[in-house]
Each structure stands twice: as C-alpha cells, then as structure tokens.
Structure 1
Amino acid sequence: MNGQGDDLPIIAIKGVSKRYPNDVVALENISFSLEKGEFCFLTGPSGSGKSTLLRLLYCAERPTSGDIFIDGVNVKTIKQTYIPILRRRIGVVFQDFKLLQDRTVFENVALALEVIGFNRDQIALRVNKVLENLGLGGKGKRYPQELSGGEQQRVAIARAIVNRPPIILADEPTGNLDPQRTMEVLDIMDELNARGTTILFATHDERLFEGTMRRVVRLQDGRLEVEYS
C-alpha cells in the first residue's frame, strides 16, 4: 500500500480547493503536510472548512483542484474500488458518534473488522481488548442509548482504532462533551499518538491545544490563515 519512503509525509495536501454548486467555496488553495507519528490540531471557527478537509482526506468527497496524498496515494485520482482499501488505514472519529442504535457496543466496534474479513475469534479478541483499554470492559452487550455521552464517544474511538490504522482523523470529537470527558478523549489521543499513530484533530476550541506545544493549523473562511507550533 505504501507508495512512498518513510522520510516523506504520511499526509500531503497540495494546493487543494473545494467548490460546491453555485460557486460556494469551501476550501481555497490549502497546502500543508503531516509527518508519520505527528499530532496536529486543525482549528478555526464553524464553517471555516475543517470538516470539508477531513471529508476529502477520507475520500467522502474529492477535491475540485489540487492533490491529496495519503501514504503516497493520490486520493484525487484513486479508483472508486480502491477507496475501501485506503480507508482501512484511516480511523475517523465524529462529533455525533455515528453509532448504529440497533447494534450493541460490541457489534458497533466489530463492524470495522467484519468489513475487512477478520474471523469471529479474531474479532472477539480485538474488540474485547480495545473496549477494556478504553474503560468499556463489561459494556459490550449494551446499546448506545444506554450509555452516557462520554461512553458513546469512547465507543466511537474504539471503532476507529480497532483495526489499528496508522492515521486517525477526529472531527470535533469533544464538541458534545463536558470538560472531564473532553480531557479523557485527549488523553486517549495522546496515548495513541505515543504509540506512533498520526492524528489530525479538528476543533474550534482553542483551549484544547493551548500550552500543549502541538502543531496547529488554522483555517478561516476556507483559507489557511496561519500554521504554528
């Protein structure tokens, strides 16, 4: 899968613009990259283009112009049939969780492994381990509506990381959480990053990265306004 050397960025965004019908400009000439194992915050107010950029990265949409390389693969020109293979390398955590309400916690997390062909024993081992690591041991048979908001977010994180992707994209994952649960999510992301996972964490809340010494990329009205550490 890897089409590049280890010394090249795992994510490279080059002159990317995204326009919708009626000439609505969501992104305009965005360029930046992430090195393997980096933790970067993507910030900016609501409507600045953060979610659009993440959607381009996991191939939910294609850029109007410019190029995006994920581990050396250009997502602008990738064949539709190859997208599921690329997505195995990307875990996505959403603000609204996107859990299936008619499936248990175990089943929600297991789905990420079922679609890539893991057998029943492998799935049980992986899912139970990740749930235990995220403080959800013993809750595999619960349904999402039986959990607190913080627990649901941890289920969403479990689903994103259970197949051990090298990249995590987090789209406002703490937006609906109280301060304590927010810190729990950040701690989980820090632990994943310490193990080598590359993380792009989108948030409008500047308090999350103040004093962290993490790299920050800021969008404003679809443009890259500033990048700093």
Structure 2
Amino acid sequence: MALQLIEIKDYSLAPIGRGWGLRNFECTISEGDVIYIEGDRFDDTHLFLRALAALEKPLEGVFYYRGQALDFSDYRKLLPYKRRIGYMSADSALLSNRTIGENIMWQRYYLEGRKSLEMDDEVLYLCRIFGIEDKLDLRPSQVFRDEVRAAIIIRELIKGAEILLVEPAREMMSRAHYESAVQLTKEYLSKKVTAVFSYSSEPFVREAATKMVRIVEGKLEVIALK
C-alpha cells in the first residue's frame, strides 16, 4: 500500500480573484499519485494548488503531512514542508537581487547549508536543456520571461521534492522551452514521482493520472481513476 503523504480534512479556503473559494473538502495524496485538476474557475483551481503548497491559510480544517498537522501560525514552521514541495505556478518568482544561477541554487545553498554555489552535472544538464547556461550570471530583469520561467522549473526540480505541483504556463514560455518542460515532465513521471497538475491538457498527464480533482462552484470532488 502506497504511503500517504498528504491528508486534508474539513478544509475551507477564502476565495481569491473571481473564484468561489473552496468549502469543506477532503483530499488525500499518496506516493505515486498523479492528479490533474479541472474546474469552472481558474482562480479556484489555482487556489487548490496554492493550498497544497501551504501558501494559503485555511479558514478551517487540518492539513496533515506524513501524519503531522501543519502549523500555519508561523511561516517558519511551514518551511520543512515547503522544502519537500516543488511548486511551479504562474505566481512563482525569482529573487530580483540575485542572479539566475544563484536563484536556481537557492534551496541547496541557503536552505540545505551547502558551502558552494557550484552546479553539479544534473543542474548543468537542465540549464542546457532550456538553453539558459549562458544566462546564469544575469539578473531576472535582464532575461526573457520564458527564461525566468525555465529557471523556476529547474530550481524546483533540483530540490528533490516529494511532490511536484505544476501549473502549465504555455502562454508564458516559448514553444521550445515549453516542449523542454513537457519532456522533463514525462521523464519525472516515468520515475513514479508524485505530482499534481492544474489545467493540463497534455494527453500524457491524463493517461498517467490516478485521480482527478473537479472543482465546480467552490465544491471539490476527488475522483479515483485507477
């Protein structure tokens, strides 16, 4: 039986943007789950993804990670969980006062206590795939938007996250960069990574999915597919 990573119980979230908010829902995510989200309002699917990243404090309910309840009273208490999450969304950002390379290595250097920003073969491989290996000494404001997005993807992938939370951003990336992101996603799914996708129309995501989350008028339903 797969290990349960996340259990959300009796959860409610205030609306954002033009969404309904989410009311009194439950959801579990286990190792190896691949989930895609669809709904009637983008803001509500985005809200659910943010909730999984512990970026939204609930109005009520409990969020368990590996059986332990998360404490939303202090942001610092959420950091151990956030380090295990790879969050790639439209609202993900880079630090404007750091170079692209420093941003990519932020997790390893500042949070894992490594003494060097030297990139290993894995990181350099990912930089080459996205064609940003010659942009690592530049600031985010000095590169194109899709190159910023590529750096965010690399930063999150090298964290060694237990769960990937992905909001496809075809409109934010060039075709070449988007295709690179798709290829990498396929590679990670082949390794049985746990992942949640919001509004993904890619057939390979739906084929790999073990669950679907449907959100309509603020009501969330989890549907088992496999």
- Letter in structure 1 aligned against 2:23: E
Greater alpha carbon shift after TM alignment, 108-117 vs 181-190: 181-190
Greater alpha carbon shift after TM alignment, 170-179 vs 104-113: 170-179
Verify: 1:152 aligned to 2:148, yes or no: yes
- Across the aligned residues of Structure 1 and Structure 2, the Cα RMSD in angstroms comes to 3.0
- 2: CA distance between counterparts of 1:116 and 1:211? 31
- Letter in structure 2 aligned against 1:125: M
- Structure 1: unaligned runs, 5 residues or longer: 1-5
- Letter in structure 2 aligned against 1:161: L
- Tell me the TM-score normalized by structure 1: 0.78
Q: Do the aligned partners of 2:88 and 2:153 also contact (CA within 8 Å) in 1?
A: yes
Verify: 1:26 aligned to 2:21, yes or no: yes
- 2: CA distance between counterparts of 1:193 and 1:158? 16
The offset of 1:96, in angstroms, is: 4.4
Verify: 1:166 aligned to 2:159, yes or no: no
Shift in alpha-carbon separation, 1:119–1:210, aligned structure 2, 3 A? closer
Verify: 1:75 aligned to 2:70, yes or no: yes
- 1: CA distance between counterparts of 2:171 and 2:40? 12
**Secondary structure at the counterpart of residue 165 of structure 1:** coil
The offset of 1:8, in angstroms, is: 3.2
- Letter in structure 1 aligned against 2:99: T
Q: Do the aligned partners of 2:212 and 2:224 also contact (CA within 8 Å) in 1?
A: yes
Q: Do the aligned partners of 2:186 and 2:204 also contact (CA within 8 Å) in 1?
A: no
- Structure 2: unaligned runs, 5 residues or longer: none
Verify: 1:137 aligned to 2:133, yes or no: yes
- Tell me the TM-score normalized by structure 2: 0.79
**Secondary structure at the counterpart of residue 217 of structure 1:** strand
**Map of 1:51 onto structure 2:** 46
- 2: CA distance between counterparts of 1:96 and 1:79? 21
Q: Do the aligned partners of 1:13 and 1:33 also contact (CA within 8 Å) in 2?
A: yes
- Letter in structure 2 aligned against 1:133: L
Q: Do the aligned partners of 2:88 and 2:166 also contact (CA within 8 Å) in 1?
A: yes
**Secondary structure at the counterpart of residue 125 of structure 1:** coil
- 2: CA distance between counterparts of 1:49 and 1:75? 22
**Map of 1:221 onto structure 2:** 217
**Map of 1:91 onto structure 2:** 86
Q: Do the aligned partners of 2:36 and 2:206 also contact (CA within 8 Å) in 1?
A: no
Shift in alpha-carbon separation, 1:96–1:177, aligned structure 2, 3 A? farther
The offset of 1:146, in angstroms, is: 4.1
- Letter in structure 1 aligned against 2:123: V
Shift in alpha-carbon separation, 1:75–1:172, aligned structure 2, 3 A? farther
**Secondary structure at the counterpart of residue 4 of structure 2:** coil
The offset of 1:223, in angstroms, is: 1.1
Q: Of residues 91, 98, 115 in structure 2, which corresponds to 1:103?
A: 98
- 2: CA distance between counterparts of 1:211 and 1:89? 21
Count of residues in correspondence between the two structures: 218
**Secondary structure at the counterpart of residue 120 of structure 1:** coil
The offset of 1:15, in angstroms, is: 2.8
Residue identity over aligned pairs, in percent, reads 21
